[in-house]
Amino acid sequence: MSFGGMRVNDDISFSIGKGERVALIGPNGAGKTTLVNVISGDLTPSQGAVHLAGVDVTALPISDRVDAGLIRTFQITRLFKSLTVAQNVALAVMQRKGLTRNIFSSPMDRPDVRREWERALGTLGIAHLADRQVSQLAYGQQRLLDLAIGLALEPKVLLLDEPAAGVPSEESSKIIEAIDRLPSDIAVLMIEHDMDLVFRFARRVLVLANGKLIFQGDPAEVTHHQEVRRAYLGSYADARHAS
């Protein structure tokens, strides 16, 4: 992906298998969000292609990628603050089912729609908040709701852009615990700066630096990789190694 003469993503190639848990890390400006924007369809790559389940989706708009199972959450929640938790998730279910044109006839109370939003909230551990207005939620609860909406869209691949961003450190573990409860067949790619969360979540780590993929492999190996240590981990790797 290039902007003018600047190549922000440079010859990046990787795949994610069904059910994999992969972390995408790297210093600020490494090109992580740009890469996720390319995958999700927010940006069209200058070169190369994006494939989902063997199908080239590079030319597809975001809505078609969502329909195909490629779902993304953002660093900043994009919720309907005046609606309840249940209504926010129900809207996602209704969108997937093509029912949003009937929004004012309360299709969220249809048994099939209700069953799905209840299941999504239950999986993320926030079923008790179903009737709460979103504006009344703590920020960590809003992030969990964001995940519930993503789950309600039935993802094959879920792209998480710093799901614990802005969440107090004592609550961030709840985000990872919730991600752990996602169905095991969903592939999850997570951008995250909190390395403790990365090591709790990831079974594989991708490291970007200066727009290039400089490492992909086992989390246990990443702290020993000299180029990664120089580019990103630094003192964290030393501290983890010492412990």
- The domain ranges of the chain are 1-69+155-243, 82-153
0.95 exceeded by the pTM? no
Of 230 and 155, which is predicted with more confidence?
155
The mean pLDDT of 164-168, rounded to a whole number, is 83
Q: List the CATH code of the domain at 1-69+155-243.
A: 3.40.50.300
32: nearest Cα among 207, 226, 231, 201: 207
C-alpha span between 150 and 89 (Å, rounded): 9
10: nearest Cα among 35, 44, 43, 39: 35
Tell how strand 51-52 and strand 55-56 pair up.
Answer: antiparallel
Q: Tell me the pLDDT band of 242, cut-offs 50, 70 and 90.
A: very low
CA 226 centroid distance within chain:
28
CA 186 centroid distance within chain:
11
pLDDT at 231 over 80: no
C-alpha span between 8 and 6 (Å, rounded): 6
Query: How many CA atoms lie within 13 Å of 116's alpha carbon, on the beta-carbon side?
Result: 23
Which 8-state DSSP code applies to residue 182?
S
Length of the chain: 243
Q: Which amino acid is residue 49, in one-letter code?
A: A
Per-residue pLDDT, 220? 82
Q: Tell me the pLDDT band of 7, cut-offs 50, 70 and 90.
A: very high
Of 173 and 240, which is predicted with more confidence?
173
Q: Which amino acid is residue 86, in one-letter code?
A: A
32-44: pLDDT as tens digits:
999 999 999 999 9
Residue 23, helix vs strand vs coil: strand
